């Protein structure tokens, strides 16, 4: 199968031929869909005798393998391919079994109630498992985060993920700043981001983790090192998949917050379902603004009287940031020929002042960057084809992302806002435009060969062009180019011993077409030339459940990460180009275990894992002499580490989380420049610079329902983050006490929220960096000190 994909991509990767294929593919799918048999949808909810939703309940059609599980809100959707009378078996540990007969002639809604089985509760320690816990206990190494727990916080998705095991997100400043996201020691573009399985950046450069409000997502899945083929990515380090609300009911979630540094953040996320016709309208968006004028401590400025540099505490003066995004989707759902058919579009833009380069000794006062992006997409999904064996999923999108870097000031600025006349701040006068049109499509098919045997096929095509020009320069486009990626995958999953042992075998294909300027010695000038290369990966994910409460798992993948267009062609101000950059490869291994126990109202959950990464041609960002970053290939990087987390909850009153991560990422290249002999590299066995190696998090939540009235909740949350000191540059050239280290940090945050009318009206007050600790992050750039925020949220369902 992978060879067929390679043959196809080699013959149809360029020109009109492939565009015709993309045009015909939906027509081919539509032909398949018209053969689908009648599908009836049973929607409903399951509650206990106290009208509380029950997660993890099994609803199964009698004498078949067709079943559904309730989510964290006790809701479910069961798809049945035949009409007539059937029996539904509803079961959950700790409750009496319920058998219900229904007559299926059309879609219907059920509201079910289960009665407690006290004897079973005393004998069994495991209750029904939530969707996030089921993901954690799969063969893949996964962090599954239920974002509803943070709905009243002002945190963005990046800050929420930064509290979980193996994850480190380092920002260069305040709201909207650049950041570096790492999973188990591999970071940057080795980590890929998705929203509902689709690359996040297809929506434009505004859509980043530190821009997206937590209320936009229903949950987030983080795959560490090994990712399923259904994501269709070349994510060597891991994948982050943001899952939005997929339930078909009316809801509206709107929020606004205001805080320190003139920070405004608002978000809206809603859906309207017209039940008689199945028409669905979805709306989401956000707005962020901050002056980011926080205090910079101990920065150097020139003192004319003393005739020397002195250190002072001064505020940032050129760091305003604004971003906005709006998305609209219109479609139909729950039809015989389509579970989901949507067309949609989005628009986003940002305006950003640039205060510093990658080091804070370089101060800008007139450099700006702004941009906008638009996206149009089509998505289609149909399950239960071929008598419930086949599920199909198709997505196609086109987008255009434009940004402009402006530097027309002939000044050198200092931290007090003063300046002297000189050269342009970034080296030359420029109004540099970067335009990146993009086409993306993905096709996924899941087929059940037999009971407990499934295969999944995935193919995606992703083409991005790079067009740049300086409107102050009449020269021809200095750096045109194009990157096209063809990613294919095939997996086979088998469940053994009554699904106690699950194995997933994977094969992946990576095809890269790169068009770039190269010097032609015959023509004696640069010409645009193309090349196409293929790479193959493979992997395995396995989990064995020793008991319903405990299990062990392991995963392995030989994978590749293809170059990003920004790594090859740069961004004109912080990243210089490297046209000779190559893909990187890695062997990733995860081994771990989990154990959960519930006794009465007390619930414990423990998980631990070890990980190993051996990356060849590792792509990393290196600081160059002109204070820019350039992405380079390091021959061999080795990462070893471990992580552990323990969770405790008591009823709905108390929850606590404690986790820790250790990772040792070293340069494993003995001889530089790819040689096998000679002088040993000066950085051989040194830690990779600018990367934390020991960090942990603690969270405590205390809340009480009906304390201040019926249907109210008062909640207090505390979180702490510890990061051990680490080197900013190669440790062989540094000492722990020098400025080339980033010091140990211990940051605390606190939040109090009050909810009324069953979470319809919410107000929260939050303090970040409560102790006003001097906080550093990427390349020792200072982050904001103590900050206060208030948030208002309205939620209607």
Q: For residue range 77-99, what is the model confidence (pLDDT) as tens digits?
A: 898 877 788 899 998 877 888 99
pLDDT (0 to 100) of residue 519: 64
Between CA 541 and CA 538 the distance in angstroms is 11
Structure-model confidence comparison of residues 324 and 690, the more confident one: 324
Does residue 401 register a pLDDT over 90?
yes
Residue 410: inside a domain:
yes
Nearest one of 281, 510, 277, 377 to 26, comparing CA atoms: 377
Q: Which residue would you say has higher pLDDT here, 523 or 22?
A: 523
Q: Which two tokens stand for residue 676?
A: 């096998």
Q: Which residues pair with 437 in a beta bridge?
A: 400
SS (H, E, C) 434-462: EEEEEEEEEEEEEEEEECCEEEEEEEEEE
Between 346 and 632, name the one with better pLDDT: 346
Average pLDDT on 399-416 reads 91
pLDDT at residue number 786: 97
What's the pLDDT score for residue 652?
87
Grade residue 121 by pLDDT with cuts at 50, 70 and 90.
very low
- If asked whether residues 116 and 261 sit together in one domain, one would say no
pLDDT at res. 400: 97
Segment 601-625 mean pLDDT? 87
Q: Residue 690: what are its φ and ψ, rounded to 5°?
A: 60, 40
Share of the chain above pLDDT 90, in %: 56
Identify which of 198, 148, 156 has the alpha carbon closest to the alpha carbon of residue 177: 156
* pLDDT, greater one: 518 or 239: 239
Check residue 16 and give its pLDDT.
41
* Predicted pLDDT at 683: 86
pLDDT of residue 124: 41
Residue 149 is assigned to a structural domain of this protein: no
Average pLDDT over residues 2-12: 45
Question: Does 148 map to a domain?
Answer: no
Taking CA 34 as the corner, what is the angle to CA 30 and CA 383, rounded to the nearest 5 degrees?
A: 85
The per-type count for the chain, helices as H runs and strands as E runs, is 7, 44
Q: Which two tokens stand for residue 666?
A: 């070293």
Answer whether residue 156 is part of any domain: no
Confidence of residue 123 (pLDDT cuts 50, 70, 90): very low
Would you say residue 342 lies in a domain?
yes
Burial group, residue 278, by CB count within 10 angstroms (0-12, 13-18, 19+): middle
Asked whether residue 189 is assigned to any structural domain, the reply reads: no
Residues with Cβ within 8 Å of 149's Cβ and at least 6 positions away in sequence, in order, are 701
- Token representation of residue 507: 């094969």
pLDDT > 90? residue 529: no
Distance CA 713, CA 724 (A): 36
Task: Give the burial class of 179: count Cβ atoms within 10 A of its Cβ; 0-12 exposed, 13-18 middle, 19 or more buried.
Answer: middle
SS3 469: strand
Number of domains in the chain: 2
Mean pLDDT value across residues 501-509: 97
Residue 627's pLDDT is 61
What pLDDT does 5 receive? Answer: 42
| pLDDT for the residue numbered 735 | 59
**What does the pLDDT read at residue 26?**
47
Last residue of a domain, one of 91, 110, 126: 126
Cβ–Cβ under 8 Å, residues 334 and 107: yes
Please give the average per-residue pLDDT across 189-199, as a whole number. Answer: 93
Please state which of the ranges 346-350, 594-598, 736-740, 745-749 shows the lowest mean pLDDT.
Answer: 736-740
27-41, 526-540, 569-583: segment of lowest average pLDDT: 27-41
> Which residues touch 504 (CB under 8 Å, ≥6 apart)?
139, 140, 228, 491, 492, 493, 540, 541, 542
CATH code of the domain in which 387 resides: 2.40.170.20
Residue with tokens 């414990």: 604
Largest CA distance in the chain: 93
C-alpha span between 230 and 490 (Å, rounded): 9
Q: Does 3 fall in a domain?
A: no
Which residues 6+ apart lie within 8 Å of 141 measured at CB? 223, 224, 225, 226, 553, 555, 590, 592, 609, 611
Segment 435-444, tens digit of pLDDT: 999 999 999 9
Average pLDDT of the residues in 582-609 = 94
Alpha-carbon gap, residue 485 to 441, rounded angstroms: 11
What's the pLDDT score for residue 264? Answer: 98
Average pLDDT over residues 146-153: 92
pLDDT of 120 reads: 47
For residue 624, pLDDT beyond 70: no
Residue 25 to residues 315, 385, 387, 458: CA-CA distances in angstroms? 56, 18, 23, 14
State the DSSP string of 534-559.
EEEEEEEEEEEEEETTEEEEEEEEEE
User: Quick one: average pLDDT of 778-788?
Assistant: 89
Find the distance separating the first CA and the last CA of the chain, reported in whole Å. 45
pLDDT of the residue at 702: 97
pLDDT of residue 625: 58
Q: What are the strands, taking DSSP E only, across 305-415?
A: 308-315, 321-335, 338-353, 368-384, 390-407, 411-413
Whether the CB-CB separation of 62 and 85 falls below 8 Å is answered with no
> CA 92 to CA 69: how far, in whole Å?
10
Rounded mean pLDDT of 33-60?
78
DSSP tag of 316: -
pLDDT band at 8 (very low <50, low <70, confident <90, very high): very low
Beta strand pairing call for 575-576 and 629-650: parallel
C-alpha to C-alpha distance for 429 and 419, rounded to whole angstroms: 17
Fill in the DSSP letter of residue 173. S
| 425 confidence band (pLDDT: 50, 70, 90) | low
Lowest mean pLDDT among 591-595, 631-635, 646-650, 745-749: 631-635
| Cα–Cα distance, 136 to 56 (Å, whole number) | 14
* Same-domain status, 266 and 122: no
Name the residue range of residue 72's domain: 36-126
pLDDT higher than threshold 70 for residue 58:
yes
Domain termination residue (choose one: 105, 126, 147): 126
598 near 125, Cβ under 8 Å? yes
Four-residue CA torsion sign, 92, 93, 95, 101? positive
Q: Which two tokens stand for residue 299?
A: 């920065």
181 lies in a domain?
no
**Tens of pLDDT, residues 217-266:** 999 999 999 999 999 889 888 999 999 998 888 999 999 999 999 999 99
CB neighbours (10 Å) of residue 252? Answer: 14
When comparing pLDDT for 505 and 625, which is higher? 505
Of 541, 560, 611, the C-alpha closest to 233 is 560
Q: How far apart are CA 193 and CA 221, in angstroms?
A: 10
Report the length, in residues, of the chain: 797
pLDDT surpasses 70 at 122: no
CATH number at residue 44: 2.60.40.1120
Burial of residue 794 (CB within 10 Å: 0-12, 13-18, 19+) is middle
Residue 496: predicted pLDDT: 95
Mean pLDDT of 369-378: 97
* Boundary-marking domain end, from 77, 98, 126: 126
Given pLDDT bands bounded at 50, 70 and 90, which one contains residue 21? Answer: very low
> To the nearest 10°, the Cα dihedral for 331, 20, 376, 394?
50
User: What are the DSSP calls for 98-148, one per residue?
Assistant: EEEEEEESS-EEEEEE--B-HHHHHH----PPPHHHHHHTSSS-EEEEEGG
Kindly report the average pLDDT of the chain as a whole number: 87
pLDDT score of 34: 41
Give Cβ neighbours of residue 36 (< 8 Å, ≥ 6 apart): 336, 337, 382, 384, 385
pLDDT: which is higher, 33 or 412: 412
Q: pLDDT above 70 covers what percent of the chain?
A: 89
pLDDT band of 13, cuts 50, 70, 90: very low
| CA-based nearest residue to 184, from 688, 541, 551 | 688
Nearest partner of 237 among 174, 190, 288, 297, judged by Cα: 190
Taking the C-alpha atoms of residue 631 and residue 562, their distance in angstroms, rounded to an integer, is 13
User: In this predicted model, what pLDDT tens digit does every residue of 177-186 receive, in sequence order?
Assistant: 988 899 998 8
């Amino acid at each position: 199968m992978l060879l067929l994909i390679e043959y196809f991509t080699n013959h149809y990767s360029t020109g009109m031929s492939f565009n015709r294929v993309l045009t015909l593919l939906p027509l081919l799918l539509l032909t398949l869909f018209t053969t689908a048999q009648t599908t009836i949808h049973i929607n409903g909810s399951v509650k206990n005798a106290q009208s509380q939703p029950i997660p993890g309940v099994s609803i199964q059609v009698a004498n078949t393998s067709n079943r559904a599980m309730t989510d964290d809100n006790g809701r479910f959707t069961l798809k049945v391919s035949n009409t007539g009378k059937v029996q539904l078996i509803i079961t959950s540990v700790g409750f009496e079994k319920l058998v219900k007969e229904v007559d299926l002639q059309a879609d219907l809604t059920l509201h079910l109630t289960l009665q407690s089985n006290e004897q079973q509760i005393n004998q069994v320690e495991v209750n029904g498992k939530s969707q996030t816990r089921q993901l954690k206990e799969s063969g893949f190494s996964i962090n599954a985060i239920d974002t509803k727990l943070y709905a009243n916080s002002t945190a963005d998705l990046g800050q929420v993920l930064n509290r979980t095991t193996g994850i480190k997100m380092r920002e260069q400043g305040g709201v909207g700043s650049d950041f570096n996201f790492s999973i188990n020691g591999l970071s940057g573009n080795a980590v890929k981001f998705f929203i509902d399985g689709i690359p996040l950046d297809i929506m434009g450069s505004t859509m980043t983790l530190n821009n997206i409000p937590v209320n936009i997502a229903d949950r987030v899945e983080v795959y560490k090192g090994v990712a399923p083929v259904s994501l269709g990515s070349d994510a060597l380090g891991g994948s982050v998949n943001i899952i939005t609300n997929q339930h078909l009911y009316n809801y509206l979630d709107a929020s606004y917050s205001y805080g320190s540094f003139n920070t405004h953040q608002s978000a809206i996320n809603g859906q309207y379902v017209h039940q008689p016709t199945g028409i669905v309208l979805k709306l989401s968006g956000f707005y962020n603004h901050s002056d980011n004028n926080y205090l910079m401590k101990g920065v150097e400025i020139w003192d004319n009287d003393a005739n020397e540099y002195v250190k002072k505490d001064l505020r940032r003066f050129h760091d305003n940031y604004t971003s906005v995004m709006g998305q609209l989707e219109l479609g139909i759902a729950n039809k015989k020929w389509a579970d989901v058919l949507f067309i949609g579009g989005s628009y986003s833009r940002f305006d950003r002042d640039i205060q510093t380069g990658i080091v804070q000794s370089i101060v800008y006062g007139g450099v700006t960057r702004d941009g906008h992006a638009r996206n149009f997409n089509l998505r289609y999904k149909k399950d239960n084809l071929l008598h419930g064996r086949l599920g199909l999923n198709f997505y196609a999108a086109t987008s255009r992302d434009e940004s402009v870097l402006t530097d027309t000031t002939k000044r050198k600025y200092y931290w007090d806002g003063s300046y002297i006349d000189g050269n342009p701040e970034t080296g030359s006068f420029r109004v540099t435009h970067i335009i990146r049109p993009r086409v993306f499509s993905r096709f996924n098919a899941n087929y059940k060969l037999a009971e407990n045997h499934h295969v999944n096929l995935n193919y995606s095509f992703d083409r991005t062009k790079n067009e740049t020009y300086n409107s102050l320069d009449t020269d021809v486009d200095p750096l045109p180019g194009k990157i096209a990626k063809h990613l294919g995958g095939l997996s086979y999953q088998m469940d053994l011993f009554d699904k106690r042992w699950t194995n997933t075998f994977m094969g992946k294909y990576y095809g890269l077409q790169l068009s770039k300027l190269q010097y032609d010695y015959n023509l004696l000038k640069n010409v645009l030339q193309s090349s196409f290369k293929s790479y193959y990966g493979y992997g395995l994910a396995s989990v064995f459940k020793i008991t319903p409460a405990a299990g062990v798992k392991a995963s392995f993948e030989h994978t590749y990460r293809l170059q990003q267009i920004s790594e090859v062609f740069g961004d004109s101000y912080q990243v210089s180009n490297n046209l000779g950059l190559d893909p990187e490869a890695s062997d990733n291994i995860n081994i771990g275990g989990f154990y959960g126990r519930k006794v009465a109202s007390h619930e414990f959950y423990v998980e631990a894992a070890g990980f190993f990464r051996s990356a060849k041609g590792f792509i990393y960002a290196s600081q160059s002499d002109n204070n820019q970053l350039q992405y380079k290939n390091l021959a061999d990087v080795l990462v070893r580490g471990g992580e552990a987390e323990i969770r405790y909850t008591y009823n709905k009153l108390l929850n606590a989380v404690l986790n820790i991560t250790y990772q040792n990422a070293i340069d494993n290249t003995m001889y530089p420049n790819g040689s096998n002999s000679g002088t040993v590299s000066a950085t051989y066995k040194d830690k990779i610079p600018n990367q934390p190696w020991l960090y942990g998090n603690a969270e405590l939540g205390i809340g009480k329902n009906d304390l201040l009235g019926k249907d109210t909740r008062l909640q207090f949350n505390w979180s702490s983050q510890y990061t051990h000191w680490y080197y900013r540059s190669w440790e062989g050239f540094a000492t722990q006490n020098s400025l080339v280290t980033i010091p140990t940090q211990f940051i605390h945050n606190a939040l109090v929220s009050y909810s009324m009318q069953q979470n319809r009206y919410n107000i929260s007050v939050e303090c970040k960096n409560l102790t006003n600790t001097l906080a550093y992050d990427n390349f020792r750039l200072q982050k904001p000190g103590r900050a206060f925020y208030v948030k208002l949220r309205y939620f209607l369902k």
